[in-house]
Structure 1
């Protein structure tokens, strides 16, 4: 039985969130291919995970028998998140761009699941697991655009998921999502709609290809 770990981090509800709309579409198509599959869902905006603490961080570099009670309690939370990630056959993440970077809630989750000696580094316990990231953004940061140098979402997540964790990473990138809401971007609405439609098509294609 296949398991999909689905993580959303947008601060907005589905009807107002480009990333949630696309992750929902991917999830729907994945479920069609896996009617008996399991979906583990985390809404990091509704239920954020704890930011990394000194106890949670240092416990990752020490044996369990040497943990203080505070380290043991903090590390147990990290282990639960790591085990969810390790148990997944595929991972789906909504990662909207906020102020040039990922939401702090998603960064908190990453800080918990990145553990050198287990998920990261030479061992990479999640190596080869497919991860689909819906990286939505209000403008365009594509190659050749004026804001290309400010694209830190895909660059950062590539370093984390592909390089550090060894996962099989793919992006879906809905752009210009602010066009319908910002009068100064009114002439870009058509381009936004094309980007949105393309992202939904990619979600369907990638979900079906992943199942195959």
Structure 2
């Protein structure tokens, strides 16, 4: 069986979303030694920002008249969808950036939406997906920035409601505690949240491995 993993962090070393996703992947491999993990890292190898428009234009242009960029964009859109369809399970590692979804993952979503196999369809209907997402601050009820997380609800809407996936979300907050001195008072809470996220990641990975 195959696990497809996509990372969207701009960091490789020290990435909080990567740490959580690594735990999920390790549990998958523990349950399925020798199985395949396919990878794509759009944080370090981003989708070109112009490809969404180019792919849309390609869909409305006869093939013989398409530009090289339009052909490349349409081909990549199909490739991205095929990666997801070919996988038995999927792992997305997507951090919150500036109160919203990573621009890298947004570009990924937009390009996928142009592919005929995905447009207007729940093309991942029933497929098991784990979303590992992290936030530097705290955005829960009662916090000063409650409601400022405009990423997680959006990602749930796309992956579960639009794409139709059977989604499990593993979340970690306060990842900037220990880096931002203004958050030093929250070290104990942040440590508790970190431990809880790690445990949730282990459980999510085991559930994927039980497919």
TM-score, scaled to structure 1: 0.89
**Aligned equivalents of 1:103 and 1:138: distance in 2?**
13
**Aligned equivalents of 1:65 and 1:201: distance in 2?**
50
Unaligned runs of 5+ in 2: none
**Aligned equivalents of 1:169 and 1:63: distance in 2?**
35
Unaligned runs of 5+ in 1: none
| C-alpha contact 1:135 1:174 (8 A) present in aligned 2 | yes
What CA RMSD, in Å, does the superposition of the two structures yield over aligned residues?
1.9
**Aligned equivalents of 1:37 and 1:58: distance in 2?**
39
Partner of 1:190: 188
Paired residues in the alignment total 208
| The 10-residue stretch of structure 1 (46-55 or 29-38) with the greater mean CA deviation from structure 2 | 46-55
Map of 1:40-189 to 2, 5 A cutoff?
Answer: 40-51=38-49, 52-60=51-59, 62=60, 68-70=66-68, 71-115=70-114, 117-121=116-120, 123-189=121-187
Runs of 4 or more above 6 Å deviation: none
**Aligned equivalents of 1:67 and 1:132: distance in 2?**
40
**Aligned equivalents of 1:128 and 1:202: distance in 2?**
21
**Aligned equivalents of 1:205 and 1:53: distance in 2?**
36
Distance 1:189 1:87, change over 3 A: same
Partner of 2:22: 24
**Aligned equivalents of 1:45 and 1:126: distance in 2?**
23
TM-score, scaled to structure 2: 0.90
Partner of 1:199: 197
Distance 1:114 1:153, change over 3 A: same
| C-alpha contact 2:101 2:152 (8 A) present in aligned 1 | no
